[in-house]
Amino acid sequence: MFRPREARIRFFTRLLLAAYFFEAGLLLIVAPWTLWWWRNVFAFVWPWVGAVMAYQAVRVAVSAVGVIVALAGIAEARLLFGGRWRSPGSASTGS
């Protein structure tokens, strides 16, 4: 059985995960369209990385991954605040 302290820690961990996913998703959505995208050390060290980064399709793909990650963060937050939270041992058997 879960104790209240374990439930608080689990809630806080899931909250941090949702916040991280949302923030990382927003960063991936915005970064390819800013000057920050071109100030990448890997593009200077390996010229082929800079050439790949110049393609519009790569920028769109990175932004699409960002949308997916941000939506995962939103979904986790909705489950955390909107859905019912059950401990693994309290699942109903549907007798």
Q: Which residues does the chain have with pLDDT short of 70? A: 1-3, 83-95
Pairs from 11-14 (Cβ < 8 Å, separation ≥ 24): 11/80, 11/85, 14/76, 14/80
Q: What is the DSSP letter of 86?
A: -
pLDDT given at position 10 = 85
Query: Which segments of the chain are extended strands (E)?
Result: none
Q: What pTM, to 2 d.p., does this model score?
A: 0.74
Structure tokens at 6: 């374990």
Q: Domain locations in the chain?
A: 4-85
73 touches 21 (CB < 8 A):
yes
pLDDT given at position 95 = 46
